[in-house]
Amino acid sequence: MNKPVLVVHGGAWVVPSEEFDAHKKGLQDALEIGMAILKNNGSALDAVEKAIASMENSGVFDAGIGAVLNDQGDVELDAQIMKSNLEAGAVAAIRNYKNPISIARKVMETTPHSLLVGDGAGEFAKKSGFSKIDMQRMISKKEFDRFSQKKDEGFGTVGAVALDLFGNMCAGTSTGGTRGKLHGRVGDSPLIGAGGYCDFETGGASATGHGESFMKILACKTACDYLKIEKTAQLAAENTIALLERRTSGKGGIILLRKDGDIGIAFNTKNMARGFATNEKTEAMI
């Protein structure tokens, strides 16, 4: 049997020092939830979904509750989840649902499609039994203040990649996008190969940062391809971020997990909220 591994991130940006503790707690909670599943013979799929849902519910990150506001002052969320057998599901520009990662999983498991968007994604979520919540409950005071002050910092996308005891892998990503984005804008997070990717032949990845840049180099598929030629997952992650900066001048970060459990994390921003858990160690960092 394999040793379980879980890697998570909570965004790559300039995290204010007064928010370090909240970010670390959000990461730590996600790691504990996900690893409890993995250690109890649970699936990588369950671990990734529940770890990300924890971060969506925390109010700390740009995902779920507390996600950034678009140009109309509303929250529109994107998410994807992908298994190492290439099954995947995603939603984009969905409103009034706080856990798009779980809706993305339902898309994967119950439809022949990989991506649902906008009103169609919302209708699917309702028919699938997910409960709508009022938009005002989605907006945190912290985000309302930043939006009102027209602050433009923040790439708080969340993500997770897991390897379970049976050698199965899963990757997921969830976000509110970029503050002040145009209504209907979709970034890399729900796009297979860009904001996330997973393949049992290589590994899994989740990205965070300037979505338009990550889309242009299909960052997560690129990172997984680097796993075929680099000795370590760390080198593969670093090469991906170097390519991002060289070709697009984009900023952000990536978490990468090779099929043998080797971890790679790289970013070119001041901070990246990230963490990992194995049987031997759990660590959350900013």
Hey, which residues are catalytic here? 157
Angle between helices 100-110 and 118-127 (to 10 degrees): 80
Dihedral sign computed on CA atoms, order 63, 65, 67, 69: positive
Token pair 């906008």 is found at 118
The string of DSSP letters for the chain reads -PPPEEEEEEEEE---GGGHHHHHHHHHHHHHHHHHHHHTT--HHHHHHHHHHHHHHHSSSSSSTTPPP-TTS---EEEEEEETTS-EEEEEEE-S-S-HHHHHHHHHHHSS-SEEEHHHHHHHHHHTTPPP--HHHH--HHHHHHHHTT-------EEEEEE-TTS-EEEEEEE--STTPPTT---STTSBTTTEEEETTTEEEEEEE-HHHHHHTTHHHHHHHHTTT-SSHHHHHHHHHHHHHHHH---EEEEEEETTS-EEEEE-SSEEEEEEE-SS-EEEE-
